[in-house]
Structure 1
Amino acid sequence: MRSVHPALKTLSLLAPLTLGLTLGAARAGGGAAPPATPTPAAPTTNPAAAVQPARPAASNVSLRALADARGLLLGAAVNQTLFDPDEPEYARTLNRHFNAVVAENAMKWAGLHNNREAFAFGFADAIVNTAVKNGQTVRGHTLVWHDSLPPWVYTIQTREELLRAMQDHVTGVVTHFRDRVRIWDVVNEAVSDAPGHPLRPSPFLNLIGPDFIDEAFRAAHAADPGAKLYYNDYNTDGLNGKSDAVYELVRGMLARGVPIHGVGFQAHLNTDFDVKGAQVQANLQRFRDLGLDVQLTEVDVQLRPARPELGELARQAAVYRDLLRACLNVRCAGFVTWGVTDFNSWRAGGKPLIFDDVYDPKPAFAALAQELAR
């Protein structure tokens, strides 16, 4: 087990950002001093106002309590570390600060259905059952994706066979988790990054055709009519060509009567990302105006290399703060970080999350807490 040092170990090196929270014990266990005045970031690196970095003691504030008070799903993607007896702080951090859970990889097609003849739900069941026991909402990720497919899918040669296999997979998974998983990323990353942003080549598009998306949503809805069904993608956070393509995709689905309830925006970003300049809020709002829920589903903000860490932590906190502010301003349904700590992140080298390698809260944690309490 990696030793966990005191959360204020770097306070002498970092300018404090107090949370400005006056919270009753029922919400977050106590109050804090008034907030420090934010310092603007250098315009050449990030036009957003930088958050002054600090590492507040996580024991003083529960992000989960703050999110509950706002009616927001605040989630994290989890992996096998959740069950590692040598890492008990992982589960403690997850349960204290997050009211929603996503399986990072365990519920993808290859993880659940590598054998065509049988599902393997064991690991995914463990995650879901643990979350339910802890009163956390589970987002199911993901039913249909061009990646993480088992080899047998690539052996299918006809439209009819692949359509039936896709429908059987969706039906089997959603039915198994019915009443425990009520939110699903049904189709993930179906829009490409190519000029014009057509649908991405995949076994599903190539054999079934563009209507594979509609059929996947219909199968999920039939398996659990009470579940919220999402389309999820990356590089769609602001107003741009790809988010335009996703907008037209889901608008067409609604016009055809396809049961879609929301859109997920992954938000895998870095500290140069300008939330306001990218018009993230306006982008989210136009999807809300279609009558859809929106969630930021895979948020991480990696530090850029060869830059002073202190400034990067401040810029990272500013991006997190501005993302959550845009999300709350449009009454989004959820905000999910793609991992719990930097050590377990798929982008670990970029230190992209709100807890560091040893579970200490980073300035980004303080920024989220302050925004939730605003």
Structure 2
Amino acid sequence: MLSRRDFLAGATAALGASFSAGNARAANAGSGLNEVARRSGRIFGASVRMDQVSAEPGLANAVASQCGMLTPEIHLKWNSIEYRKGQVWYQPVDALVKHARQNGQTVYGHTLIWEQGTPDWALHHLHHKKDWDFVAAHFERLLKRYHADIPVWDVVNEPIDTQNGSKGLRRNTFQRVFGSGYIEQALHTARHFAPDAKLMLNDYSFEYDNHVEADRRATFLKLLERLKAKGVPLDGVGIQAHLDLGKGPLRHQIIGPFLQAIADMGLEIYITELDVKERDYRATAAIRDQRVADEVARYLDIALDQRAVKGVTTWGLSDKHSWLKVERGDRVDRRRYGNPAPNRGLPYDVSMKPKLMYKALERSLGGGLS
């Protein structure tokens, strides 16, 4: 039987020829990406915002037809749930959960702890009161309210910072107030209120062959080893996989052993925020789309060889809503093209037409395992 790597080596090169504008219109026809993933025992999903889904029928149709798992992009973050103290707003999450239930989808809980997603008033309270019961109360209301609908949770989001952190951990309010043990405390608290949920840590920049990401990989693995050695309840990890065309080639000898080390600890792996940052906006859309598709195929060729990888989620479906923007240092020819089109690092363009990345996902998710 062909391995995933053998199968995709030829498939990647054929993406451009096989996915013309004519058959792009048919990409949604048939089973959809989640059905393709399901045949290999995995799940495919995307992050969503219900205000966008409600306003855009094309996006809503794609979310319903392509996804088996929905990740609330912002709705579960503390500053969305309770931007002002005492004013709790569940409506967007409730709407997302209802939408998922109606379409036979599951919901990935993102996230319980993230400094940037915590309201200022809560950070101020923690700084002055050093009150873990306050954090636990936030966990309790979310984990109990959605216990039947959200089986997987990012308990702590982005805990690693090897450049400016403290012993590899990000310097944030939780770390400063409770020390490095806050991660253990968060996982124990989550398990107390959600005994059957899968509890995850989620982080980024593990993909490329450079010293910064090498340090991040090593630090993350050491953190996981410490948690497992102490018997801390941890079921898996989220690998964000924000790919970047400016960081050099993806290498199997870098990514493969990293994922294997996680799997060897008995942890599940989810690719949680897949997209691609472009760096050269001077080319035609067709060339840009080919570059993006090639990068996605290369990454998934490696990642999906690992049986511990249970699902793939893209950070959005349409370029229209991508968080990725043109940055200082990116290559742009404004004389020829004016302001460049949005970053083209998601499966659908701004008009909800599937692009080459869609086909790369379809082929990779359907490649099977040897």
TM-score by length of 2: 0.83
2:155 corresponds to = 186
The AA in structure 2 aligned to 1:187 is: V
2:195 corresponds to = 225
Which among 285, 297, 311 is matched to residue 272 of structure 2?
297
Asked if 1:94 corresponds to 2:66, the answer is no
Give the gaps of 5 or more residues in structure 1.
1-34, 40-48
SS of the aligned residue for 1:60 comes to coil
Over 3 Å counting, the alpha-carbon distance change for 1:160 and 1:214 in structure 2 is: farther
How many residues align structurally? 329
Tell me the CA shift for residue 286 of structure 1. 1.0
2:16 corresponds to = 52
Which among 294, 316, 321 is matched to residue 297 of structure 2?
321
On the 8 A contact 1:109/1:149 being kept in 2, the answer is: yes
1:329-366 CA deviation, whole Å, 9 max, x = no partner? 11201111000100011126312101111111111111
1:213 corresponds to = 183
1:296-318 CA deviation, whole Å, 9 max, x = no partner? 11010122234423332212111
2:330 corresponds to = none
* More divergent stretch after superposition (315-324 vs 141-150): 315-324
Tell me the CA shift for residue 105 of structure 1. 0.6
Tell me the CA shift for residue 241 of structure 1. 0.8
1:16 corresponds to = none
1:178-218 CA deviation, whole Å, 9 max, x = no partner? 01000000001111141686211111111111111111111
On the 8 A contact 2:164/2:170 being kept in 1, the answer is: no
The AA in structure 1 aligned to 2:290 is: A
Asked if 1:355 corresponds to 2:355, the answer is no
1:68 corresponds to = 38
1:28 corresponds to = none
Asked if 1:82 corresponds to 2:75, the answer is no
Over 3 Å counting, the alpha-carbon distance change for 1:158 and 1:369 in structure 2 is: closer
Tell me the CA shift for residue 278 of structure 1. 6.7
1:257 corresponds to = 231
Which among 102, 106, 114 is matched to residue 83 of structure 2?
114
On the 8 A contact 2:97/2:149 being kept in 1, the answer is: yes
The AA in structure 1 aligned to 2:54 is: F
Percent identity over the alignment is 30
On the 8 A contact 2:292/2:344 being kept in 1, the answer is: no
SS of the aligned residue for 1:166 comes to helix
1:311 corresponds to = 287
Which among 338, 358, 364 is matched to residue 365 of structure 1?
358
SS of the aligned residue for 2:250 comes to coil
SS of the aligned residue for 1:205 comes to helix
Over 3 Å counting, the alpha-carbon distance change for 1:157 and 1:292 in structure 2 is: closer
Which among 226, 234, 237 is matched to residue 204 of structure 2?
234
Tell me the CA shift for residue 250 of structure 1. 1.3
Tell me the CA shift for residue 166 of structure 1. 1.2
Q: How far apart in 1 are the matches of 2:45 and 2:73?
A: 12
Tell me the CA shift for residue 114 of structure 1. 2.3
Tell me the CA shift for residue 371 of structure 1. 2.0
Moved over 4 A (4+): 35-39, 157-160
2:331 corresponds to = none
Over 3 Å counting, the alpha-carbon distance change for 1:97 and 1:208 in structure 2 is: same
Q: How far apart in 2 are the matches of 1:121 and 1:157?
A: 23
Over 3 Å counting, the alpha-carbon distance change for 1:217 and 1:160 in structure 2 is: farther
Tell me the CA shift for residue 50 of structure 1. 8.2
Tell me the CA shift for residue 95 of structure 1. 1.2
